[in-house]
């Protein structure tokens, strides 16, 4: 555990981006596409302003364009 804590602190930006990508993937129910990169960058920036709080991550995902514009299987736009 001490080694893991140290690694997470040293590579915090990488960790935050990875968690953001994984949570957005789960929220969208699909893999990320190149067009989702902008949303990931926006979410990561917002998390930095919010002290990387998990609640901020969830809020930013729900506010993101990919989440707002997602469709369910069989649904047409």
pLDDT in tens, 25-71: 999 999 999 999 999 999 999 999 999 999 999 999 999 999 999 87
Q: Using alpha carbons only, give the angle 6, 44, 70 rounded to the nearest 5 degrees.
A: 130
pLDDT attached to residue 74? 67
What separation in angstroms does the CA of 67 have from each of 20, 24, 36, 52?
13, 8, 10, 20
pLDDT attached to residue 8? 81
pTM flag (> 0.75): yes
Q: Is 75's pLDDT higher than 80?
A: no
pLDDT bin (cut points 50, 70, 90) of residue 73 is low
Q: Integer distance in angstroms from the first to the last C-alpha of the chain?
A: 48
């Amino acid at each position: 555990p001490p080694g893991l804590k140290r690694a997470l602190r040293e590579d915090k930006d990488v960790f935050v981006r990875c968690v953001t990508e994984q949570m957005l993937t789960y929220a969208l129910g699909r893999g990320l596409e190149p067009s989702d990169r902008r949303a990931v960058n926006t979410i990561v920036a917002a998390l930095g302003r919010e002290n990387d709080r998990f609640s901020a991550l969830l809020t930013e995902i729900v506010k993101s364009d990919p989440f707002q514009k997602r469709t369910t299987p069989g649904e047409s736009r």
